[in-house]
């Protein structure tokens, strides 16, 4: 493992990119803005998917699949949706290529022009509500609780691996309900699931709240979000859940016959998280030695490395290592025993350290004699020599400890970087010098929000759900305000 990577201090952005590339998580492809997710990175994403998918199913949702293409006209049907989504997108105009006249290449066949252009989905509300129209007649057909795992495309001018890419992977839930209350309850339930996942799987503390009108999803009545703080003091929106009211039902004419025999428009929610979570995960915990992964999402939780001089020693160590491996696997722990003779132990140590494997066990000839094993944890880099007896319980316990420690560390970091700010000068200084979450009063107008953004690049990340009402004056205009909101610069 090459040591030529940046520290956070030197260049935070380069540090992030170095980890993504050198830990084999993802890379840029030949197609501008589209990434290749490499096997090690994809294995983390699969763990995320599997945990989230179970949470969705445990709350009654099913998966389905809708077309990747959306007829252009669909976007015009919901007035605010079209503004937000129909602009920067991939447009399919033709369905055939042909040989060029000079025979040297292939060109677009102008005879195969589509009557109506197709858009590669940037999000699927429109095509899904066009489908729901045929699924819903009566209250008996409701609720519909459907999720889709899919790829989506938003044409981005400036891209960064995982954080902002032209194509990304995500899940999008789209639910249909008979009542407003039920749709709101669903929207909040999914926000809570996202927060639960972020905190208990990703070890990432998040604020739960709503967005200001300015930052709302195009087509939503209310957007709920979870917001996390990264190590450079910038916020990262990690998941959103939207209460869509009857907007899409009206746009696509989806009505149902209620229990009271009245024809009513259907109520909707939609909610999603994406491969952007990978960016959050990497940035939240990693250090200047590379990636740090919470055990629950680590593809390899424990690596065992042998140290030996003679072949005969290796055989003995391997026997012991394989015993430990089996005992750990029985507990559902994923273990890799790396006995490759093409790499030296020191090289392997750096490799797994850089790739964020939570626990490393090392067994050498002396360990055989003493019935011991060296155990190292990635989060604190501490090492210890332990008796081999009962090692599987010790490792299991350590993995839990690391999971907790990472959350606690990130939580303390957030606490240390959250400020109640009541003076505009202080606001500007903190945003500029330190970053972090700034709790300040806001007069509730879009205009003020825009001006603060222009002057400081900070935006309102969220209006926290657990806010205490508090009389105060807007940080910018001095006008009266009833609660603090969370400002930060954001990814």
Shortest Å, Cβ 131 to a second copy? 5
Alpha-carbon distance of 96 to 114, in angstroms, equals 10
> Quick check: 258 binds a second copy (CB under 8 A)?
no
Give the footprint of a second copy on residues 105-134 (CB under 8 A): 105-106, 108, 117-120, 127, 130-131, 134
> Quick check: 38 binds a second copy (CB under 8 A)?
yes
Only one of the segments 101-109, 192-200, 238-246, 446-454 lies at the binding site for a second copy (rule: CB under 8 A); that segment is 101-109
For 265-303, the DSSP string reads EPEEEEEEEETHHHHHHHHHH-BTTB----GGG-S-SEE
Shortest Å, Cβ 387 to a second copy? 34
Among 54, 140, 383, 482, binds a second copy (CB under 8 A): 140
Among 5, 15, 16, 74, binds a second copy (CB under 8 A): 74
Only one of the segments 36-44, 235-243, 377-385, 443-451 lies at the binding site for a second copy (rule: CB under 8 A); that segment is 36-44
Alpha-carbon distance of 487 to 452, in angstroms, equals 10
Among 54, 87, 383, 479, binds a second copy (CB under 8 A): 87
Alpha-carbon distance of 108 to 96, in angstroms, equals 6
DSSP classification of residue 55: H
Among 11, 13, 14, 62, binds a second copy (CB under 8 A): 62
Shortest Å, Cβ 295 to a second copy? 20
- Rounded alpha-carbon distances, angstroms, from residue 115 to 72, 108, 111, 478: 11, 15, 11, 55
Only one of the segments 58-66, 215-223, 351-359, 363-371 lies at the binding site for a second copy (rule: CB under 8 A); that segment is 58-66
Alpha-carbon distance of 53 to 64, in angstroms, equals 12
Closer residue to a second copy (CB): 11 or 62: 62
Element holding 255 (H helix, E strand): strand 255-257
> Quick check: 342 binds a second copy (CB under 8 A)?
yes
Only one of the segments 144-152, 204-212, 387-395, 424-432 lies at the binding site for a second copy (rule: CB under 8 A); that segment is 144-152
Tell me the three state secondary structure of residue 353. Answer: helix
Among 7, 11, 13, 76, binds a second copy (CB under 8 A): 76
> Quick check: 73 binds a second copy (CB under 8 A)?
yes
Closer residue to a second copy (CB): 30 or 263: 30
Only one of the segments 83-91, 282-290, 416-424, 437-445 lies at the binding site for a second copy (rule: CB under 8 A); that segment is 83-91
Shortest Å, Cβ 21 to a second copy? 11
Among 93, 408, 412, 423, binds a second copy (CB under 8 A): 93
> Quick check: 66 binds a second copy (CB under 8 A)?
yes
Which residues lie closer than 8 Å to 12 by C-beta, 6 or more apart? 231, 232
Give the footprint of a second copy on residues 168-187 (CB under 8 A): 169
Q: Could you tell me which of 269, 248, 80 has the C-alpha nearest to residue 173?
A: 269
Element holding 117 (H helix, E strand): strand 113-120
Let me know if 436 is exposed, middle or buried by CB neighbors in 10 A (0-12, 13-18, 19+).
buried
> Quick check: 253 binds a second copy (CB under 8 A)?
no
The answer to whether the Cα torsion of 372, 300, 330, 317 is positive or negative is negative
Phi and psi based region of residue 444 (left: phi greater than 0; alpha: psi -120 to 50; beta: remaining): left
Closer residue to a second copy (CB): 71 or 213: 71
> Quick check: 79 binds a second copy (CB under 8 A)?
no
Let me know if 467 is exposed, middle or buried by CB neighbors in 10 A (0-12, 13-18, 19+).
middle
473 — phi, psi (to 5°)?
-120, 140
Let me know if 199 is exposed, middle or buried by CB neighbors in 10 A (0-12, 13-18, 19+).
middle
Among 70, 235, 304, 431, binds a second copy (CB under 8 A): 70
Shortest Å, Cβ 482 to a second copy? 38
Please give the residue ranges that form the binding site for a second copy (CB under 8 A). Answer: 27, 29-31, 34-39, 42-43, 45-46, 62-76, 82, 86-98, 105-106, 108, 117-120, 127, 130-131, 134, 140, 146, 150-151, 153, 155, 167, 169, 342
């Amino acid at each position: 493992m090459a040591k030529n990577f940046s520290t956070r201090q030197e260049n935070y952005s380069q540090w992030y990119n170095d980890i993504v590339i050198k830990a084999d998580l993802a890379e840029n492809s030949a197609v501008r803005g589209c990434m290749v997710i490499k096997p090690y990175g994809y294995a983390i994403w699969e763990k995320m998917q599997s945990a989230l998918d179970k949470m969705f199913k445990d709350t009654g949702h099913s998966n389905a699949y809708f077309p990747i293409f959306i007829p252009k006209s669909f976007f015009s049907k919901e007035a605010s949706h079209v503004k937000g989504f129909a602009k920067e997108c991939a447009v399919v105009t033709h369905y055939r290529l042909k040989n060029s006249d000079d025979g040297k290449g292939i060109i677009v066949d102008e005879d195969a022009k589509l009557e109506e252009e197709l858009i590669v989905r940037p999000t699927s509300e429109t095509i899904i509500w066009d489908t729901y129209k045929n699924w819903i007649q009566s209250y008996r057909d409701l609720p519909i609780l459907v999720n889709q795992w899919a790829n989506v495309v938003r044409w981005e001018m400036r891209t960064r691996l995982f954080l902002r890419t032209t194509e990304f992977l995500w899940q999008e839930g789209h639910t249909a309900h008979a009542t407003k209350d039920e749709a709101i309850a669903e929207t909040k339930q999914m926000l809570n699931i996202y927060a639960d996942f972020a905190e208990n799987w990703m070890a990432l503390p998040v604020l739960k709240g709503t967005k200001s009108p300015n930052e709302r999803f195009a087509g939503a009545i209310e957007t709920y979000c979870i917001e996390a703080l990264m190590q450079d003091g910038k916020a990262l929106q990690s998941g959103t859940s939207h209460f869509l009211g009857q907007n899409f039902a009206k746009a696509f004419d989806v009505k149902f016959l209620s229990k009271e025999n009245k024809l009513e428009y259907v109520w909707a929610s939609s909610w999603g998280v994406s491969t952007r979570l990978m960016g959050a995960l990497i940035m939240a915990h990693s250090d200047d030695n590379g990636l740090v992964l919470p055990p629950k999402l680590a593809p390899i939780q424990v690596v065992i490395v042998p140290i030996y001089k003679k072949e005969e020693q290796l055989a003995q160590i391997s026997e012991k290592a394989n015993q430990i491996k089996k005992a750990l696997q029985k507990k559902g722990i994923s273990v890799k025993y790396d006995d490759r003779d093409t790499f030296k132990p020191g090289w392997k140590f750096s490799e797994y350290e850089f790739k964020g494997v939570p626990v490393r066990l090392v067994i050498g000839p002396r360990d055989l004699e003493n019935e011991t094993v060296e155990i190292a944890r990635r989060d604190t880099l501490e090492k210890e020599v332990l008796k081999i007896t009962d090692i599987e319980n010790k490792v299991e316990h350590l993995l839990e400890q690391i999971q907790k420690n990472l959350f606690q560390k990130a939580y303390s970091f957030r606490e240390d970087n959250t400020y109640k700010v009541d003076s505009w000068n202080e606001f500007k200084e903190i945003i500029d010098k330190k970053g972090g979450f700034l709790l300040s009063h806001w007069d509730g107008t879009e205009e003020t929000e825009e001006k603060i953004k222009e002057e400081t690049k900070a935006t309102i990340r969220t209006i926290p759900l657990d806010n205490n009402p508090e009389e105060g004056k807007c940080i910018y205009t001095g006008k009266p305000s009833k609660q603090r909101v969370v400002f930060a610069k954001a990814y």
